[in-house]
């Protein structure tokens, strides 16, 4: 990281978390607390900051858009998460549209039902072939709204997509995301287990590695 970014990041002990998604907030706040940064992470909702318009065409673009939006309004450094599920046989859909795949933002029930329906013809053609998928998380940290050098970190979590829901935990597509090595879905893991291996956990560790000691 450049000296400019280092000095700015260390001059503030409060960052804005550019998200109003309760599931993401819970995971990110827990992971940052475990990191003992000495930095207070404030959800943008506590500062009456509404969600940004996510009109980028990639996870990276949308993460930066959200971070700049929160930083511009708050005047503080901001960190944003843009994440979703990519299924290669669907052309990497739902991708950046994961939260609104079925048309209504944040409706997990509808989104999961649409994913199951969209994959059904493929399962019928290849009933014994597992359908691969991966969760993607991109984190973007900006020291100010016009920061020309955002810190970017990406995490990928590989798995398979089930034909029916399993598990009561997590959120989003977790009940359909099967981990063969654990013989469990993401929704069946404890919060600690999920954070230790998830796309979001990976991205946070990579982000922290880029911060000044």
Residues belonging to the active site: 82
| C-beta separation of 85 from 23 below 8 A | no
Nearest to 108, CA basis, from 173, 164, 162, 170: 173
Angle 83-86-91 (CA atoms, 0-180°, nearest 5)?
A: 135
SS3 of 81, please? strand
Q: Give yes or no for a contact between 41 and 15, defined as CB atoms under 8 angstroms apart.
A: yes
CA-based nearest residue to 45, from 17, 65, 72: 17
What does the block give as tokens for 123? 């399962």
Residue 71 DSSP SS3: helix
């Amino acid at each position: 990281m450049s000296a400019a970014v280092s000095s700015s990041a260390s001059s503030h002990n409060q960052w804005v978390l550019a998200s109003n998604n309760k599931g993401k907030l819970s995971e990110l706040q827990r992971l940052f607390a475990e990191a003992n940064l000495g930095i207070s992470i404030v959800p943008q909702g506590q500062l009456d900051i509404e969600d940004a318009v996510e009109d980028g065409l990639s996870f990276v673009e949308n993460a930066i858009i959200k971070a700049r939006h929160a930083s511009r309004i708050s005047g503080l450094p901001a960190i944003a998460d843009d994440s979703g599920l990519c299924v290669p046989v669907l052309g990497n859909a739902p991708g950046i549209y994961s939260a609104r795949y079925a048309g209504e933002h944040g409706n997990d029930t509808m989104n999961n039902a649409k994913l199951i329906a969209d994959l059904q013809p493929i399962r019928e053609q290849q009933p014994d072939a597992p359908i691969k998928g991966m969760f993607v998380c991109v984190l973007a940290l900006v020291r100010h709204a016009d920061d020309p050098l955002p810190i970017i970190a990406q995490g990928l979590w590989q798995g398979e997509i089930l034909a029916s829901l399993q598990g009561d935990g997590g959120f989003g597509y977790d009940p359909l995301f099967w981990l063969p090595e654990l013989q469990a879905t993401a929704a069946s893991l404890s919060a600690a287990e999920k954070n230790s291996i998830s796309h979001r956990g990976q991205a946070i560790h990579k982000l922290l590695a880029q911060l000044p000691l």
